[in-house]
Amino acid sequence: EDKVVQSPLSLVVHEGDTVTLNCSYEVTNFRSLLWYKQEKKAPTFLFMLTSSGIEKKSGRLSSILDKKELFSILNITATQTGDSAVYLCAGLNYGGSQGNLIFGKGTKLSVKP
């Protein structure tokens, strides 16, 4: 069965720290890996990674995919309290099980002032 595993499950840091969130996947007919940020309500899209080794950046956030080792990381530099959220990773497949978007349990990040 397809699965996505995130680590750590929770993380507490102080403002200004850099964090790395991990996501490993076993997804049949893998197409892409997606990262979402979830605060109070709906997940909001961050990145979609399809090619291995190409870093995507958005401000202080960056992410990269390794399709050989089946994992992705999300980096946040100079963290701010507004980065506190649950970060979700999801594997997208070519029309396999689970509607082709399989989520991990998320990493809960808490950034202290």
Binding site for other proteins (CB under 8 A): 4, 6, 31-32, 34, 36, 41-45, 48, 88, 90, 97-106, 108
Q: Give the shortest CB-99-to-other proteins separation in angstroms.
A: 3
What secondary structure, in 3-state letters, does the chain show?
A: CCEEEEECCEEEEECCCCEEEEEEEECCCEEEEEEEEECCCCCEEEEEECCCCCCEEECCEEEEEECCCCEEEEEECCCCHHHCEEEEEEEEECCCCHHHEEECCCEEEEEEC
Q: Give the shortest CB-21-to-other proteins separation in angstroms.
A: 13
Select 41 or 113, whichever has its Cβ closest to other proteins.
41
Select 67 or 108, whichever has its Cβ closest to other proteins.
108
Q: Give the shortest CB-78-to-other proteins separation in angstroms.
A: 26
